Amino acid sequence: MSQYNNKNSVISVCFASCIFVVMCLFSTVALAYTGVTIVMSSKTEANLAFVEQFKAELTSDENNTLSLKVLELPARKRLVVAENSELVIALGEKALEAASKLSHTTPVLAVYTPTLAYEQILEKSRRDASNMSMIMQNQPYARQIHFIQLVLPSAKNIGSLVNGNSQAYAEQLKMRAEKKGLNLQLKHLNDSTRLLPELKTLLETNDALLAIPDTAIYKPDTAQPILMTSYQFKKPVLSYSLSYVKAGALAALYSSSRQLAKQAAEIAQQSQIAGNPLPLPQAPKFFSVRVNRQVARLLNIEINSDMAIYQALLAADPLQNE
């Protein structure tokens, strides 16, 4: 009888030990969530469009089980969500900063945040990369290079202004562009007062200007000076936003708020169903092309239709052919 009791005791101890080990393992991994909370710092047009499309994506999926809440970031109070049972989507750098302070088992997905800022917040938070990820602002390298060559097939030299936020991406883009016979000249802008002089230097020796997402360079008060200076040199500007094309850039390769929301919804649903950690930071999957035909005529540049450019990019895009 004592042997039987001893045997049961050993089994009980082993079972308890196994449970303890399993709990330790899962304590560092984001658990499957049942809802999504979108956090924004303000109700901008881009943020509201993102929220509207995200809701539509969930509603259109008959298998969706995720609930959805939307929060505007409190001015002074700490961000409060249902930790450990929700995925938090942070729209913008301020929202990400607040979300990063939540429990480390609460998964966080960043949107509209520069890569450098994301990396700094991730490091500061001491979070595991498995429960904090992002949809990057920059287009994939191959797509960006292909876009340049489709819009300006005869161009061999492209100039680009860069800063700390865009330097790493630009240097990788330059290296990959060279393999495709395209020279990308980077001009580092560390002093905002030097914007126009540095821009003029670039335009003198290059066929076009490529604008790369960087809020230290491309912002509302610099858009017109950059575009007007480019016109003076009769050099086109290739951009990353629809608003820049409307303001006078020749063309843009961009991902809209609704396209980013569609990708975020895919991530939210796939991670929940699989019970897996969030994926590594992703480049934008969905994209659009827009050409300013009036600018093309003024610069005497012949360009294929927006749809033809888009279809050519789509056919060659690895993200669309997984």
CATH of the domain at 100: 3.40.50.1970
Give me the pLDDT at residue 320, please. Answer: 65
Residue 59 and residue 118 share a domain: yes
Mean pLDDT per 10-residue segment, the chain (322 residues): 48 44 41 84 94 96 90 78 84 94 90 92 88 94 97 96 90 96 94 91 96 90 95 97 95 98 94 78 96 97 96 86 48
Distance (Å) of CA 176 to CA 142, 152, 258: 8, 17, 29
Write out pLDDT tens, residues 36-53.
999 998 999 999 999 999
Return the residue matching tokens 């056919």: 315
**Is residue 284 within 8 Å of residue 259, measured between CB atoms?**
yes
- For residue 234, being part of any structural domain is answered with yes
With tokens 């920059």, the residue in question is: 138
Do both 69 and 149 map to the same domain?
A: no
**Coil, strand or helix: which one is 49?**
helix
Q: Give every strand in the sheet of 208-210, ordered side by side.
A: 183-188, 157-162, 208-210, 237-239, 251-254, 288-291
Domain assignment present for residue 224? The answer is yes
Based on the fold, state whether residues 130 and 153 are members of the same structural domain: no
Contacts of 27 (CB under 8 A, 6+ apart): 105
What is the DSSP-derived secondary structure letter of residue 282?
A: B
- 80 and 174 housed in the same domain: no
CA–CA gap between residue 253 and residue 144 (Å, rounded): 7
Alpha-carbon span 72 to 217, nearest angstrom: 27
Give domain status of residue 17, yes or no. Answer: no
Query: Domain residues for 98?
Result: 35-137+261-274
User: Are 57 and 43 in the same domain?
Assistant: yes
Q: How many domains does the chain have?
A: 2
| Both tokens assigned to 191 | 């002093």
Q: Specify the pLDDT at position 64.
A: 87
Q: Which residues contact 206 (CB under 8 A, 6 or more apart)?
A: 157, 158, 159, 185, 235
Distances from the Cα of 212 to the Cαs of 31, 38, 168, 173, 241, in angstroms? 36, 27, 11, 10, 10
In a domain, 2, yes or no: no
Q: Both 147 and 85 in a single domain? A: no
Provide the pLDDT for residue 274: 58
The whole model's pTM is what?
0.86
User: Are 54 and 185 members of one domain?
Assistant: no
Distance CA 308, CA 12 (A): 68
1 occurs within a structural domain: no
Is residue 281, in this structure, part of any structural domain at all? no
* φ and ψ at residue 160, rounded to 5 degrees: -150, 130
Q: What is the largest CA-CA distance in the chain?
A: 98
Q: Do 156 and 298 belong to one domain?
A: yes
Write down the residue that tokens 């609704």 correspond to: 258
At 225-282, the pLDDT tens digits run 999 999 999 999 999 999 999 999 999 999 999 999 999 999 999 888 756 678 999 9
